[in-house]
Amino acid sequence: MSDWIKTGNNYADSILMDRYMNDPIMIALVDYLEFKGILNQDEFAQFVNEHCRADVVTREKLQSEP
């Protein structure tokens, strides 16, 4: 999971990685779903990265508006 998040904003990447990598429930859930054959980690990593990128873009846009 350590290389999943690449939003183009290094600060956001660092914050998001800390949030996800320090959450043992998130890590356990991903491992469990992969073990059960429900989750493809590569596809999930892409999905997580897209979600994080969209969140960063939205936050940057809101911060730049008066």
pLDDT per residue over 36-65, tens digit each?
A: 999 998 898 888 888 888 988 998 889 888
pTM for this prediction: 0.70
pLDDT per residue over 2-22, tens digit each?
A: 567 888 888 888 888 888 888
Quick one: 16 exposed, middle or buried, by C-beta within 10 A (0-12, 13-18, 19+)?
Answer: buried
Q: Which amino acid is at 32?
A: Y
